[in-house]
Structure 1
């Protein structure tokens, strides 16, 4: 892999657009393969049995809690590291990486303890079928013991993203996808581990990923990262990590809320919506790349005190978001029937998915604006507002809107989709106004923390 030049690592100089493209494309591509990785596990579970697939589906809800923590670790580490990279305080950069490394071990131990105490009860709550719960526990128990490697991967990836290096994380996600195709059959059919084989495959891949990123990070900062236990630094890290993790949880909870109300119209509408939203998530992958770009660029320039450049980054990120939307909105409107028919030949499922994609196309730029605004706020160490917007957008407003539309006004299924559009657009405008306000009063990062 070609080493990054000094200009590529220093995001306080050079073309903003070039940096965004260089950072964003690998990040987006990596997330595409991460999504395909999850689909691969579902496919192999289906090859075992319907019970195995159901068990994996339930276990994935518990697994989502790990992902939420990992996203928080990645965002929090990136925010703290990028700011001191921008101010050229390399010793502080190493301190933050080591403290993030240390807090990762601590949080992973907490997750293991809580999971061992409560995960089984949560699985029982999610299903009345003892066989499905047993299969789900087979998967979850392995993942629980290996959650450290998931979190270390996120920690090291966050530090590398702060350096403007998204190619290394992309590489492990692509490698993991192909390795999964080799390891799943080995653990499932050769070693006869069943659904637990899916977890062992993932565990081995995440172990390798964390070791690889640890080595790449050593090349970036010049020393091996070791766990550090500076509790003042931990407190500052947690102030970034926990809001980002909780924001991810609101997305998960919001999905359950939406499915609950859609389920009142039958199983096929739920299936149609579920397929539609997964297709939409694939189309939103460029937004995740843009998110990584804004986090790294704003973080370094905020640390360097380049407030005008921070404003420029936000403005240009919105322009790139608009360009992406101009391409993908017509895709959602005109190609949604073709995309939906690849997943189902049931006309009701297809119709619901197509209608959802066409309706939510009008909110596509709103999603992009939210990604840009949230990334900037996290990079300038203001993670609470994205959490507030997340709670409103994913939980409070949908519950109110869906209840009034469905239970009080007796509107149909499609009113849910249009209310989602209205909520997203409203949230994105609020986020835009708030972010612009923060930029007007933004001061250079203090050099004493």
Structure 2
């Protein structure tokens, strides 16, 4: 069962590459998956793009909570492996695979109740509102599959396996290309479903991926059906998962709320501004993928090495990941300045939509370094089981500061949308700088000398 021994002994730069490259590749295809959705929504109408952008922010809330608790499972299993407590790792795997989907079901129920209110608050009315609801209601029905995939992948990442999830994301990308037009326009006995078809394709793909991930997890022997009582709720283990996963989940919740706030302030500039922002946001995500891949590698490596009390390696993991990330960010900025306008024009040829998308992108690319720092530090804090500050920093940058910046720029001074993006940039850098020095301080307190 001890698949993770190489995480404790092999060369750190090699391990980061080995884990981050598959994760980044998978995330590339995951983002391209979303790009394909945006492309097909654009074939329906500009309003459909705006509705998809609106729905994505609520969808992100669901995904974010799943990510937060699944990262807790990875950290707890990794720490148990590092301490050579394989039975405890098995218990966390069994309990976690049930815990995360339960959380998803609760969130989905809340989503059904709140979606109309949230979308109306963000300025959606009439057909625009109906398009957004058609998409999100279909997604909410399939939340259990999303959450199951998060928990299954968390187990694999804890063992150092980032390739399996990559494979599911690559499959999902190509399946999405085929299924989107099938469900949007209909074929034979399949009715034309419009934007609802985009969501249905996503849910169906998640179901197929869940079956594949389950097979791979069963191969690790961490999950088995010899003791069905292992799957039953356990107060102490659920408490540990909750305590470890709640702060990063709240952080993701604040990110979702922050995205909703950003859409709210953007909507003051019109539907085309929302559509342009939605396109620019998705293009921006392409260049953040390596940073997300690095954060996945850092979480796996730090949790295992911290559990094994190999503190010097924890320090090396942090700084090596930051060095690699900064180099990748510099490339991403150059790439989007050269090709960003061309990419945006592939989604919508409306002059105003393109203008809003380019204006957002050309400011926000400079946040890449800040995002990279935040991602790496968050994974480090999760790996050493000190996740509390993650929520407070998220609360600041996603809600408190965003409300202040948005109100002053959009409502009070009524400035051009360009200054909204500048305000967001300054806000995120302030959070990243604080998080970096807080992570250094926390590691020093734990006698990890840096």
Q: Which has the higher mean CA deviation after the structures are superposed, 357-366 or 370-379?
A: 357-366
Find 2:72's aligned residue among 53, 72, 76. Answer: 76
Q: What does 1:380-419 align with in structure 2 at a 5 Å threshold? A: 380-409=384-413, 411-419=415-423
Find 2:256's aligned residue among 252, 277, 297. Answer: 252
1:320-341 deviation line (CA, Å, top 9, x unaligned)? 1121123223223444344444
**Residues 409 and 187 of structure 1: CA distance in aligned 2, closer, same or farther (over 3 Å):** closer
**Residues 268 and 180 of structure 1: CA distance in aligned 2, closer, same or farther (over 3 Å):** closer
For 1:219, the equivalent position in structure 2 comes to: 219
For 1:371, the equivalent position in structure 2 comes to: 375
Q: Which has the higher mean CA deviation after the structures are superposed, 253-262 or 276-285?
A: 253-262
**Residues 140 and 367 of structure 1: CA distance in aligned 2, closer, same or farther (over 3 Å):** closer
Q: Would the aligned equivalents of 2:57 and 2:259 in 1 still touch at CA under 8 Å? A: no
Find 1:432's aligned residue among 431, 436, 441. Answer: 436
Q: Would the aligned equivalents of 1:48 and 1:194 in 2 still touch at CA under 8 Å? A: no
**Residues 153 and 88 of structure 1: CA distance in aligned 2, closer, same or farther (over 3 Å):** same
Q: Secondary structure at the match of 1:284?
A: helix
Shift of 1:346: 4.8
How many residues of Structure 1 are paired with residues of Structure 2 in the alignment?
A: 440
Q: Would the aligned equivalents of 1:214 and 1:224 in 2 still touch at CA under 8 Å? A: no
**Alpha-carbon separation, structure 2, partners of 1:265 and 1:131:** 19
**Residues 363 and 123 of structure 1: CA distance in aligned 2, closer, same or farther (over 3 Å):** closer
**Alpha-carbon separation, structure 2, partners of 1:30 and 1:325:** 18
For 1:290, the equivalent position in structure 2 comes to: 294
**Alpha-carbon separation, structure 2, partners of 1:335 and 1:233:** 48
**Alpha-carbon separation, structure 1, partners of 2:369 and 2:22:** 21
Q: Would the aligned equivalents of 1:73 and 1:151 in 2 still touch at CA under 8 Å? A: no
Shift of 1:233: 0.7
Shift of 1:276: 2.6
**Alpha-carbon separation, structure 2, partners of 1:406 and 1:111:** 31
Shift of 1:149: 1.2
For 1:194, the equivalent position in structure 2 comes to: 193
For 1:18, the equivalent position in structure 2 comes to: 14
Q: Secondary structure at the match of 2:81?
A: helix
Q: Secondary structure at the match of 1:65?
A: helix
Q: What does 1:217-366 align with in structure 2 at a 5 Å threshold? A: 217-221=217-221, 223-224=223-224, 227-366=231-370
**Residues 125 and 429 of structure 1: CA distance in aligned 2, closer, same or farther (over 3 Å):** closer
Q: Secondary structure at the match of 2:8?
A: coil
Q: Which has the higher mean CA deviation after the structures are superposed, 153-162 or 353-362?
A: 353-362
**Residues 252 and 198 of structure 1: CA distance in aligned 2, closer, same or farther (over 3 Å):** same
Q: Would the aligned equivalents of 1:215 and 1:224 in 2 still touch at CA under 8 Å? A: no
Shift of 1:216: 0.8
Find out whether 1:93 has 2:89 as its counterpart.
yes
**Alpha-carbon separation, structure 1, partners of 2:120 and 2:267:** 21
**Alpha-carbon separation, structure 1, partners of 2:336 and 2:45:** 33
Q: Which has the higher mean CA deviation after the structures are superposed, 220-229 or 318-327?
A: 220-229
For 1:422, the equivalent position in structure 2 comes to: 426
**Alpha-carbon separation, structure 2, partners of 1:358 and 1:131:** 31
**Residues 44 and 260 of structure 1: CA distance in aligned 2, closer, same or farther (over 3 Å):** closer
Shift of 1:252: 2.4
Q: Which has the higher mean CA deviation after the structures are superposed, 223-232 or 129-138?
A: 129-138
Q: Secondary structure at the match of 1:11?
A: helix
Q: Would the aligned equivalents of 1:291 and 1:375 in 2 still touch at CA under 8 Å? A: yes
**Residues 439 and 398 of structure 1: CA distance in aligned 2, closer, same or farther (over 3 Å):** same
Q: Would the aligned equivalents of 2:50 and 2:272 in 1 still touch at CA under 8 Å? A: no
For 1:175, the equivalent position in structure 2 comes to: 171
Find out whether 1:161 has 2:192 as its counterpart.
no
Please give the TM-score of this superposition, normalised by the length of structure 2. 0.87
